[in-house]
Amino acid sequence: MRANMLEIVTRAITDSRAIPAISIYDFTTAQSVVAASEEAGRSIILLVPPKAAQGKNGMRFIRALRQLANSSTTEVCIQLDHATDLALIRDSVDAGVDAVLADGSALSASQNAGFVTEVRKIIGPDTSLEAELGAIAGDEDVSEKNEAGEKTDPREITSFLTASKADLLAVAVGNVHGSYKGAPQLDWPLIEMIRVQAATVPMVLHGASGLSAADLARAGGAGIGKVNFNTELRTTIFKYINERSSAHSSDGMNMLAFLGGWGSCVREFTSETHRRLAPATESCRSSG
């Protein structure tokens, strides 16, 4: 069923949990992510990367995801991720996305707020609007090892949110896109400072692939209601392809078996991700 992203994220924080937002490049993966979320009885956010949304086929892809979400027995939100192109944002909303990340993070805070305001004019009041403040290193579509960039300045939060009217705020707190160089070190004291300044605006954590189970379980209780995953799932899929493609090729080039195995590894990843984002106490009960 269709979902308002701000509403489901706010509700998740109330329950001290976070909702996974998973990058989707193909429909097989999308169906499997939704199926696992239905089995878990949990809400899910499908992230559409800008490169996957471009052109006629990109709009067809979004419309297909819209139908998938509408027919789901659980809440599904479709978000255009890391968007900088106003025309692409307009077309994606028309095609059926429920939310947009207006990515002005490469701009100054004031210019960033102005860009987010322009996006709001395009998408209207009913589409959830996420903004990003701070420099999250790396390319979300390419898995490279990155070090954390410039962190979000908590002193900019209040003025930025007042000016931009963003519904959710993606923060830079030691997280990166892609893979981490060394062990990830999230800045939890900074997260708490941002939480105080952001007040009722939920935080979003990008670059969750590689974070510890303890960090993920802690997110919802710290005011982070949405956590983005991309690299970790791509790694899972490519591992399956490398290990199983020859066998399926030898089996008469069995596409149904190949896609079935692909879907199974995606469902397992999604189910585990829902568990990892549950509060630590709930995770302990589930494993006990």
Residues that are catalytic: 81
User: Distance between CA 217 and CA 212 in Å, rounded?
Assistant: 9
104, burial (CB in 10 Å: exposed 0-12, middle 13-18, buried 19+):
buried
User: Distance between CA 165 and CA 230 in Å, rounded?
Assistant: 27
Q: Is 159 left (phi over 0), alpha (psi -120 to 50) or beta?
A: alpha
Question: Identity (one letter) of the amino acid at 135?
Answer: A
Which residue in 187, 190, 213, 196 sits closest to 272, CA to CA? 213
> Tokens in use for 117?
């305001």
Terminal alpha carbon distance of the chain: 32
Which residue in 117, 62, 118 sits closest to 87, CA to CA? 118
What count of other Cβ atoms lies within 10 Å of the Cβ of residue 208?
26
Question: What is the residue whose two structure tokens read 């708490």?
Answer: 192
> Tokens in use for 136?
């999250």
DSSP element (H, E) containing 132: strand 128-133
Q: Do the strands 168-171 and 76-83 form a parallel or antiparallel pair, or are they unpaired?
A: unpaired
Give the DSSP letter of residue 23. Answer: E
